[in-house]
Amino acid sequence: MAQMTNKRENVPNMQKPKLIAIAVFDGCQILDATGPAQAFATANALSGRALFDVRLVAAAPGQIATNGGMRLLAEPLPRTCHTALVAGGDEMAVTAAMSDRGLRKWIVAQSKSAKRLGSVCSGAFVLAAAGVLDGRRAATHWAGADTLAKMFPDIAVDRDAIYVEDGKIWTSAGITTGIDMALAMVAQDHGRTLAAKVARQLVVYMHRPGHQSQFSAPLELQSRGGARLERLAAWAEGRLHETLDAPSLAEQAGMSLRNFHRHMKATLNATPKRWVEDLRLARARALLESSGQDLAQIARAAGFSGPDHLIKTFDRRLGLTPGAYRRLHAAKTPLERERRPQ
């Protein structure tokens, strides 16, 4: 009878709020911390319950200067929590965080005791330095993906993913993808319906379309390949519409096929076919951004066999269609775009 009058006690999901500890440090990226924090806080607000207890924490608690200049107030690192997250930041700050013994010890401890351990953006480097990403798949900001893979060969770096969940270890890509990851955590704990409501409230996607690589600068890696490959790139870019198979590239580079493969792998971490595809994608992206040509023209100019080949390749590499890419990245102003005939 007492139970009947006090229904609240019977609701199954009345457990204690889950402690979400977001670790910050001087020079960290403010959105890495506040984005996920807001997602969890909005989940509380929309559900009308205290599902999450979100706290900013630091090895050196107190005022934390973010890389944008604003300050955060951080509590001491908690001994235990449900979910431990580590923010990213600029290179100097992350390097310092990577060698912070207190933070490192805390991460190792949380990798055992917490239900989830995660990072946002370059926070992956801090997790990696603590050794908790070894043998795992992981994501980080696209600009840091190659460096992470090189510094920590035991990590399978996913350059495209918005976020990666590998067991209890979660890593997210650049900055705002921390929100995407937090949404997935909300979904894991309290269902997709609530997560979708939070996404709507924050005006973000529940499932963000595409891969993060669509934002990276095409072919920034060319300069790393040395003069030999740079000349080859220039040669190839002049004949993108031709076949450009591996044997002819090797011949042009003055190497055997086998050795050419090795050099591509060693200097650019690429394969001949993949590299040519990179060149063609870069050309197609540039044309989509700044020309009004239709897909057939662009496909031909970039060396694809036709529009469908272009569409397939875009889907596989960037996770969206050429048309969607153009709408996202076209240099035209919104006014110009509206001027098209109805």
* 150/265 with CB nearer DNA: 265
Q: Considering beta carbons, is residue 109 or 246 the nearer one to DNA?
A: 246
Q: How far is the CB of 164 from DNA (least distance, A)?
A: 19
Q: What is the 3-state secondary structure (H, E, C) of the chain?
A: CHHHHCHHHHCCCCCCCEEEEEECCCCECHHHHHHHHHHHHHHHHHHCCCCEEEEEEECCCEEEEECCCCEEEEEECCCCCCEEEECCECHHHHHHHHCCHHHHHHHHHHHHHCCEEEECCCHHHHHHHCCCCCCCEECCCHHHHHHHHHHCCCCEECCCCCEEEECCEEEECCCCHHHHHHHHHHHHHHCHHHHHHHHHHHCCCCCCCCCHHHHCCCCHHHHHHHHHHHHHHHHHHCCCCCCCCHHHHHHHHCCCHHHHHHHHHHHHCCCHHHHHHHHHHHHHHHHHHHCCCCHHHHHHHHCCCCHHHHHHHHHHHHCCCHHHHHHHHCCCCHHHHHCCCC
Those residues whose C-beta lies under 8 Å from the C-beta of residue 227, and which sit 6 or more positions away, are none
256 binds DNA (CB under 7 A): yes
| Residue of the chain from 257, 301, 311, 330 that contacts DNA (CB under 7 A) | 257
Output 161 or 182, the one with its CB closest to DNA.
161
319 is a contact residue toward DNA (CB under 7 A): no
Count, residues near DNA per rule CB under 7 A: 21
Q: Which is nearer to DNA, 54 or 276 (CB)?
A: 276
Which residue in 247, 296, 323, 336 binds DNA (CB under 7 A)?
Answer: 247
Q: Does 273 bind DNA (CB under 7 A)?
A: yes
Does 221 engage in binding with DNA (CB under 7 A)? Answer: no
Q: Binding to DNA by residue 13, rule CB under 7 A?
A: no
Cβ atoms < 10 Å from Cβ of 211: 20
Residue number with CB closer to DNA (72 or 284): 284
Stretch touching DNA by CB under 7 A, among 41-49, 114-122, 182-190, 245-253: 245-253
- Residue 274 sits in the site that holds DNA (CB under 7 A): yes
Tell me the closest approach of the beta carbon of residue 262 to DNA, in angstroms: 7
Q: How far is the CB of 275 from DNA (least distance, A)?
A: 8
Nearer to DNA, 290 or 305 (CB): 305
Among 49, 55, 168, 312, binds DNA (CB under 7 A): 312
By CB under 7 A, residue 228 contacts DNA: no
Which of 30, 313, 322, 325: binder of DNA (CB under 7 A)? 313
Please state the closest distance from residue 123 (CB atom) to DNA, in A: 29
Contacts of 240 (CB under 8 A, 6+ apart): 279, 280, 283, 301, 302, 303
**Residue whose structure tokens are 């924090």:** 37
Q: How far is the CB of 213 from DNA (least distance, A)?
A: 15
Q: What are phi and psi of 319, to 5 degrees?
A: 75, 20
Stretch that binds DNA, among 67-75, 182-190, 204-212, 262-270 (CB under 7 A): 262-270
Q: Please tell me whether residue 329 binds DNA under the rule CB under 7 A.
A: no
Verify binding: residue 241, DNA, rule CB under 7 A.
Answer: no
Q: Which residues bind DNA (CB under 7 A)?
A: 245-247, 255-259, 261-263, 265, 271-274, 305, 309, 312-313, 316
